[in-house]
Amino acid sequence: MRERSQSQRIFNAFTSVQTVLLLTVVLLLSAIPAQQSAAQTERDRPELRYSLKQQHPINVRKIYKMTQDAVVRRTYKDSSFIDYQRTIEYYLTTRVIEQNDGFTTVTVLIDSMRYVFANLTDSMQTTYNSQTDKLNNEFDDLTYATIPNSRIWNITYSSYGDIVKVESEDMNWVREYIKPLKNKMTPMQYAMWDWASRDENMIWLGDIDRNVLPEARIKPTDTWQQDVHMRVSNMDFTSPANFNVVSFQDSVFTIQGKADSLQFKEAPIETYLPMNSDLSQLVSANGTATYHLEMQRFGTVQFVDVNARIHAYIRDVASSYHEDITLRNTIELLGMFKW
């Protein structure tokens, strides 16, 4: 009787082990389809992509402060040099005036400006505040800087963010105004007014996103390339640049990029440059620039920071010289107002 009871216990224990093993196998087998289904769901899930476009809401005014700070060393053949620093602050208002068939036209107005030019070699300084000072046209570069002030122009963008048209009745008036005066002006004075009223200057002052944003939708890990343009001390430069999103925090995208091959947009070409009494011919240049842009998730650019270092070779009537230029250009959103 004792042997049968012991045998029965052994049999029951063996049966329990078999049951546990069977349940384990069943659970494992049942988990396989679930894992396969989860993997399939992950594969079928749409890939996350961003559309990083600057948005221009109707009936909204955006107020920006743009600062251009350039430090320049001009070195002549005999190793003599001039150092100067030129800082201009423009206060801009932008708003949409038309949206049609994917095209958006933004009007730009410079409300006011501040200007400081310091010849660091002989301690000469010129300052101007458009809200408090009377304009003195004796200093040519100040005249150049004030030409866009209190003027309006329109920039039209495609649905991809490209600039397709720049128009300005104010700047057209400037161009027509100087035509009959060309023979009464020095070549440098005429070039100064001409360059200040060109489309390139209006784009540099009014295109807030600096052509950083991609045309197509991107993945978070994507890098994209854009051609960038900048105006430094009245010289126009261009270069391809690579950009990527480095963070998305507090509903703000942060984008950074670098341009490694800044060159003159046109060369050789004659233009007006500060601290020169004659026209200057732009010959060659090379340089680099870094970009930092912050954009709110709904498409409002709130901060831009461009830093460039450029070496340029330039000729004028009397001599040739090199310029080493350090530029910082910032654009800061001061406020938005709906009416």
Range of lowest pLDDT (12-21, 90-99, 192-201, 297-306): 12-21
Same domain, 27 and 153: no
Confidence band of 50 (pLDDT split at 50, 70, 90)? confident
For residue 6, tell me if it sits in a domain. Answer: yes
Residues 270, 303: one domain?
A: yes
List pLDDT tens digits, range 302-334: 999 999 999 999 998 888 999 999 999 999 999
User: Quick one: 31 and 159 in the same domain?
Assistant: no
Contact 86, 127 (CB under 8 A): no
114 beta partners: 89, 129
Answer whether residue 144 is part of any domain.
yes
pLDDT digits (tens, 9 = 90+) for 167-176: 999 999 999 9
Q: Is 169 found in the same domain as 39? A: no
Mean pLDDT, rounded, for 6-33: 49
Residue 54 domain-assigned (yes or no): no
Its sign, for the CA torsion 205, 111, 251, 164, is negative
Q: Do 153 and 10 fall within a single domain?
A: no
328 domain-assigned: yes
- Given this model, what pLDDT does residue 198 score? 93
Domain shared by 78 and 40, yes or no? no
Structural domain includes residue 172: yes
Q: What is the pLDDT of residues 223-256, one digit of tens each?
A: 999 999 999 888 999 999 999 999 999 999 999 9
Which of 11, 183, 171, 165 minimizes the C-alpha distance to 98?
A: 165
Residue 50 lies in a domain: no
Residues 109, 94: Cα–Cα separation, whole Å: 7
Do 162 and 230 share a structural domain?
Answer: yes
Residue-wise pLDDT tens digits, 87-117: 999 999 999 999 999 999 999 999 999 999 9
Q: What predicted TM-score, i.e. pTM, was given to this entire model?
A: 0.85
Q: Which of 12-21, 41-50, 313-322 has the lowest mean pLDDT?
A: 12-21
Do residue 198 and residue 223 come from a single domain?
yes
**30 and 154 both lie in a single domain:** no
Whether residues 190 and 253 fall in one domain: yes
Same domain flag for 203 and 260: yes
At 241, which CATH number? 2.30.230
The verdict on residue 313 lying in a domain is: yes
Which structural domain, as residue segments, surrounds residue 202?
60-338
State how many domains the chain has: 2
Half-sphere exposure in the Cβ direction for 131 (13 Å, CA): 8
Q: Say yes or no: 162 and 274 in one domain.
A: yes
Closest CA to 333 of 47, 61, 107: 61
- Exposed e or buried b per residue across 51-87, where buried means at least 16 C-beta atoms within 10 angstroms of its C-beta: ebbbebeeeebbebebebbbbbbbeeeeeeebebebb
- pLDDT in the model for residue 275: 87
Contact 220, 253 (CB under 8 A): no
Tokens of 322: 């090199």
Domain for residue 55, yes or no?
no
pLDDT at 47 over 90: no
At 277, the pLDDT band (50, 70, 90 cuts) reads confident
CA–CA gap between residue 108 and residue 95 (Å, rounded): 7
Rg (CA), the chain: 31
